[in-house]
Amino acid sequence: MAVAAQVLRSEWTKIKSVRSTVWTLGLALVVTVALGALISALAKKDFDRLDPQGKIEFDPTFVSFAGMGLGQLALIVFGVLVVSNEYSTGMIRTSLAAVPQRATFLFSKITIATLLAFTVGMITSFAAFFTGQAMLGIHRASLGDPGVLRAVIGGGLYMTLITVFSMGVATMLRSPMLALGILMPFFFLISAILGNVSATKKVGRYLPDQAGQKVMQVVTVGDDAPYGPWGGFAIMTLWVVAALIGGYAVLARRDA
């Protein structure tokens, strides 16, 4: 226990001493809240132009999370940097010499980064919700409405899991450029294409981001997904677990 506590303190020191990792967390909050507020204001302006079906399917809670897609970009960068910085600088050799128990080393790093991502994710999710609802005016939802609190908490959990998934992938790839070069197109291009093309839509809905975002939705009219909010969250969790297992397997079997 004493060793684990020391490693946790060491990983906390590493993260807070690198300004780029700290700035990415702040950027995730600002971008998500600001873009969500802008989209919410535009949605309020255009609400009366929606057809009857569009008004039925309108989800004010999910609209306030419109900036989450861009905000997750910063969290992906954060997750990758937390793991890959030591590989790019060569400090990984020193770290593993100091902590030869690789499971302790890896999961201490992941634990500290996850706690930070969870804190920022929850603050961001609640801030985006309240700001977005203020912009929506009479079309707003209340935190006490059915499913809304679950969706807001789910937004924070989604941001946390995106970060952890990125750390698992970065541990497997051991290179910040390679990890970002795969994760960015995956989330911002491949997932969008698979989810919007009829031939691949059924496959796309099982990708981590598309499945995980279901937990942030309150209005599900017209949604034909074969799982509910927590079912989608569970699918995303399985992706995260697989990434962590893969990352540990690579770290355990390969030299620094």
Q: Round to whole Å and give the CA distance between 77 and 113.
A: 12
Kindly report the CA angle at 216 between 215 and 222, in degrees rounded to 5?
85
- What's the pLDDT score for residue 255? 65
Q: Rounded mean pLDDT of the chain?
A: 89
For the residues 157-185, what does the mean pLDDT come to? 94
For the residues 178-187, what does the mean pLDDT come to? 92
- What's the pLDDT score for residue 180? 93
Taking 80 as the threshold, does the pLDDT of residue 246 lie above it?
A: yes
Residues 207-221 have pLDDT tens digits of: 999 999 999 999 887
Q: What are the two backbone dihedrals, phi and then psi, of residue 143, each rounded to the nearest 5 degrees? A: -60, -25
- What's the pLDDT score for residue 238? 97
Residues 16-67 have pLDDT tens digits of: 777 777 889 999 999 999 999 999 999 999 888 888 888 888 999 999 999 9
Q: Round to whole Å and give the CA distance between 94 and 113.
A: 20
- What's the pLDDT score for residue 32? 96
- What's the pLDDT score for residue 86? 81
- What's the pLDDT score for residue 129? 97
